[in-house]
Each structure stands twice: as C-alpha cells, then as structure tokens.
Amino acid sequence: MASNEIFQPLYFRHLTVKNRVFRSSVTGRWDNYDGSGNQARVNWENKFAKGGVGAIISSYVPISLEGRITPNVVMIDCDERIPFWQTIAEAVHRYECKYILQLSHAGRQRDIEGIENTETIRSQIKPRPAPSTTKTEDQVNGLPSYEMPISQIKKIIQDFAKAAGRAKAAGLDGVELHSSHGYLINQFLSSAINERNDDYGGSLKNRYRFLKEIVQAIRQEVGEQFHLQAKISIREFNNIIPPWQPSGNTIEDAIQICQWLEEDGVDALHISRGSTFPHPLLPSGPFPYRMLRYTYDTMTSSGGKNSFRNVIFFRYPWLWPLFELIWGRLPRKVSRRYKQPIQGLKIQDQWLDEYFKEHISTEEFQQLLNKHQGTILQDAKTIKDNVNIPIITTGGFQQASYINQAIADGYTDGVSMARTLVANNDLVHHFEKGKDIAPRPCTYCNECLGAYLELPLGCYTLDRFYQRSIKNLSRSESKKADREAEVARTREVMSVFDPPPKPYVPPM
C-alpha cells in the first residue's frame, strides 16, 4: 500500500496547499436572510480548518441576489461583504488552511427563491422566473425559468468577475467556479439543458463560450496570479425524471471542456458529476426519504411545478418505492457497470467504535465503502490523463489507505470530502495519528442532505451517536439509549452556534 501521499503538499500554479485533503462545498443555511454572514459560518469553517484539512472550498456563494439558491446563505454580491470574508480568511489561516470561495449562480435551479426573487401577480406571491438557457423547468422541483437575452449574459459574466475581485480583496486564496451540478454555468455547458440557438448554444464550443468569457473576465479582474479552479460534472447522467430525457454531456465532451479551461488559464479542476443537484449519483447513497418527509414541505411555497408532487411522494412511505423506481434507476445501472479501480485496506473490526458496530457491522460498513468511496475515480483519471493541471476529485473518500493509493496510482492529485468531513470534522487528524478510518465513519445515508432545506447542517444519522451499548436492554432502557443518542446528535449539530454572535445595539 502506498503511504503518506495525503500529507505531501499540493502545488498549483500560484497556490500551495499543505496536504491533499480539501473540504468540499457543503451548504448550510445559517447566515442572515439578507446575504450577510454571521458567527455561525465562522464557527463552521473553523471546525474544518482546526480539523486539519489543507484547504476549504466554501459552500456555493451567490454572485448576485437573482443567482441565489436559497436565502440564509452568505453572498459575495457587493463590496460590503468583503469584511466578512476577511474574517473567514483570518479564522482559517491560523491553521495554515487555505480558503477557496465557490462562485455560483443558480440559474433555473433555485431551491427557495426568497422574497426578493418573487413577483406579485393578481395579489398572489409567485417565484420570478430565473435566468437560464432554457424555459424548461428543472427536473426535480420544476421552478420557472426563461432564456435570457445576451445583454443579461454579459452582465452575469461581469458579476462573476467582480465577485472574484472581492474574494481576492478579502485575502482569500482562490475561487472555484461552480460549473457543475446543473447550476447556471452547467446549464450553458449541457447538451441536455441548453436550448439556445445563438453563439451560446448548439455546438460544444458555443455552449462553452459563457464559461470561457467568465474565465477571461475573472483573469482581467484578478490577474494571472490568483488561484482559479472550476468544478465540472464530467458525466451528466441527465436522464432522471423522466428517464427518456437526453443523458447530456459525455466524458469526451468533458475532456474537451477541461482542455479548453486549461488553455484559458484555469489552475485546477474539481471533478464531479450530475446535471442536477441532488442527483441519484451525487452525493451517492440512498435518497433521504425520512428526512425529506420532515423538511421538504418548505419547498411547496416556492412554487415549483413539481414541489407539491414531491411533498406527496415523500409524505407517504408507501409511495417511496414508486419514487425509488425512478430515482434508483441510474445507481442500479451504473453500479452494474462500474468496478472499483483500487482498494483500500480491509476494514478491521477493532478500527470501528463498539457502539457504532451494533448499528452497522464491520462487514456492512465495508460494503458501504466499496460502493460509495471513489465513485468518480475511474473517470477522474481519464481527465487527469488529458490535462496538465492538477485535479481534485470528489465522491465518498474517507479512508487514508484508499486516498494514498488513488494519489500514488495517478488517479487524482487531491481529494475533496463533503459528508465524510461533516461526520468527522477532524478526519485528517485521525489520519495523522496513523488511523485508516474514523471510529464512527460517515455511513453515506444522506440525512444531512435532506436536512439542509430546513435544519442546521450537520450529521443526522443516529447510528453514529449512541453513548452506550443497546444489547440486552429493556424496552424503557432502549428508549433511553435512543434519547441519549438524539441529545448527542443535537448537541453536535448545534455546536455550530458556539460561540454565539455578539449582540449589538445600533446607534440612535
């Protein structure tokens, strides 16, 4: 087994990261409604910097109000936001952790538009259609969109550039373009979504034009020395609901896009997949029905064509198998074709926490790892073999031996982790101590994903929070053990509010 690759610095053109672990973007809705940040965001990012990751990639940060996915996320749409981002830079840099801000525009793929993105028609509050490359609604929620005019395209390109300039002014270490997962840039790139008949639609070259012009405008704004990377869905698998839709960009399209990005001055690529978010293949794992049954109702007021249908599907467990038939189709198909290119060490019984194993046995956990770790690795290597800039790959990583092997065998230069670090913020410190895996690892259950709409982001699976053995317990003791686990989980989730923001009395 290869060793110690994780702790080698990663050298980009103008940025050095101390190790190969990046915290991938994970959106939590704990900022202020008006798009200003607060102490909870500082606390959240601090957890991962303290936990040893080499760099943090922020959650998606809207470059404009119209491009916001949900309210209560911090934005970078005006200069007044710069001091907040300076605070974040200051907090994480104390741990020699770098901070890369993810610039994003939702396009048609909003979740909750918020009052600023509504219009009142005959006394009814309705979502204002979102700018996109199509007037066809997104597949999951079905929120309205329109094909925007060229003048608006040019304006959005400038919004991206100005936002990058603000990130630089705040002392952050770089920016990432959110050009994956079905958001606006991906709506341009995608052969399945883009319906334009002009210079920005049709051929791959035309579909790439929007991203190219964003990269050029950013370079003009921030110069050549500021780190710029792009997150790309290297296979789109767009054929979800209904399954007879076109499947979208192929790996060949992605190779070409990545080569153009390199030519145009992008410093690194972040490899992902899927033409929407969430997607049956990203984050991999089960659809979080139980959590969405509790949280998804918040979407009904957002006016998506499919929101009410989805509420009904998630509300009644007897309908879940029907939804699963559609949602689970791609994972079933892909898992039949996909073979893990490499293996980590076999999980040893003594590596896992004894209470955790009462809920998920060592064998069951090994199967979860085999299924969900490194899901995009094989395709990432195809990209890596076709470009000369470093790549970072996302998708289920949480085992040191596996990550070391992936880097040593040239599949990727670094890995990004989202859920696996949400479960164990200090995973890198476990690796430093020679552990191959955290004792209570992430189970890929996706409850955190389901929670994000309504609850503070954190790990929600109870299996990871038991404080004592549940073997041979009476009914009432067993209930007590469950309750203790719930309390431990809530304490962990709510720790993001500690320390709390300082109250402030405005001047008279």
Positions that interact with ligand SF4 (CB under 6 A): 419, 422-423, 442-448, 459-461, 464
- Provide the pairing of β-strand 174-179 with 98-104: parallel
Residue nearer to ligand FMN on the CB measure, 69 or 196: 69
Residue 461: name its binding partner from ligand FMN, ligand SF4, none (Cβ under 5 to 8 Å by kind).
Answer: ligand SF4
Residue 25: name its binding partner from ligand SF4, ligand FMN, none (Cβ under 5 to 8 Å by kind).
Answer: ligand FMN
Residue 261: name its binding partner from ligand SF4, ligand FMN, none (Cβ under 5 to 8 Å by kind).
Answer: none
What minimum distance in Å lies between the beta carbon of 320 and ligand SF4? 18
Residue 417: name its binding partner from ligand SF4, ligand FMN, none (Cβ under 5 to 8 Å by kind).
Answer: ligand FMN
Q: What is the contact surface with ligand FMN in residues (CB under 6 A)?
A: 24-27, 59-60, 102, 178, 181, 231, 272, 282-283, 394-396, 417-420, 448-449, 452, 457
Residue nearer to ligand SF4 on the CB measure, 21 or 422: 422
What minimum distance in Å lies between the beta carbon of 480 and ligand SF4? 23
Cα–Cα distance for residue pair 439/417, rounded to 1 Å: 17
What minimum distance in Å lies between the beta carbon of 416 and ligand FMN? 6
> How far, rounded to the nearest angstrom, does the alpha carbon of residue 344 sit from its chain's CA centroid?
24
Cα–Cα distance for residue pair 218/166, rounded to 1 Å: 11
Residue 58: name its binding partner from ligand FMN, ligand SF4, none (Cβ under 5 to 8 Å by kind).
Answer: none
Residue 314: name its binding partner from ligand FMN, ligand SF4, none (Cβ under 5 to 8 Å by kind).
Answer: none
Residue nearer to ligand FMN on the CB measure, 111 or 147: 111
Q: How many CB atoms lie within 10 A of CB 499?
A: 9
What minimum distance in Å lies between the beta carbon of 416 and ligand SF4? 15
Q: Which residue is listed with tokens 């939590």?
A: 28
Instruction: Give DSSP secondary structure letters for 31-77.
Output: S-TTS---HHHHHHHHHHHHTT-SEEEEEEEESSGGG-SSSSS---S
Cα–Cα distance for residue pair 261/215, rounded to 1 Å: 8
What minimum distance in Å lies between the beta carbon of 481 and ligand FMN? 27
How many CA atoms, within 13 angstroms, populate the side-chain half-sphere of residue 157?
A: 21
Residue nearer to ligand FMN on the CB measure, 186 or 191: 186
Residue nearer to ligand FMN on the CB measure, 139 or 394: 394
Residue 24: name its binding partner from ligand FMN, ligand SF4, none (Cβ under 5 to 8 Å by kind).
Answer: ligand FMN
Q: Which residue is listed with tokens 């503070």?
A: 456
What minimum distance in Å lies between the beta carbon of 47 and ligand FMN? 15
Residue nearer to ligand FMN on the CB measure, 91 or 457: 457
Record the tokens describing residue 68, joined without a space. 């916001």
Residue 443: name its binding partner from ligand FMN, ligand SF4, none (Cβ under 5 to 8 Å by kind).
Answer: ligand SF4
Burial class (CB in 10 A: 0-12, 13-18, 19+), 22: buried
Cα–Cα distance for residue pair 488/142, rounded to 1 Å: 37
Record the tokens describing residue 202, joined without a space. 């049709």
Instruction: Give DSSP secondary structure letters for 294-361.
Output: HHGGGGGGGT-TTHHHHHHHHH-GGGHHHHHHHHTHHHHHHHHH---SS--PPPPGGGS-HHHHTTS-
Active centre residues (catalytic): 183
What minimum distance in Å lies between the beta carbon of 428 and ligand FMN? 14
What minimum distance in Å lies between the beta carbon of 477 and ligand FMN? 34
DSSP state of 462: G
Adjacent-strand bridge partners of 6: none
Contact in structure between 180 and 232 (CB atoms under 8 Å): yes
Residue nearer to ligand FMN on the CB measure, 201 or 376: 376
What minimum distance in Å lies between the beta carbon of 203 and ligand FMN? 26
Q: First CA to last CA across the chain, in angstroms?
A: 66
Contact in structure between 117 and 100 (CB atoms under 8 Å): no
Residue nearer to ligand FMN on the CB measure, 35 or 201: 35
Residue nearer to ligand FMN on the CB measure, 104 or 310: 104
- Listed in sequence order, the residues at least 6 apart from 59 whose beta carbon sits closer than 8 Å to its beta carbon are 25, 26, 27, 28, 73, 102
Map residue 433 onto helix, strand or coil.
coil
Residue 447: name its binding partner from ligand SF4, ligand FMN, none (Cβ under 5 to 8 Å by kind).
Answer: ligand SF4
Q: What is the 3-state secondary structure (H, E, C) of 219-277?
A: HHHHCCCCEEEEEEECCCCCCCCCCCCCCCCCHHHHHHHHHHHHHCCCCEEEEECCCCC
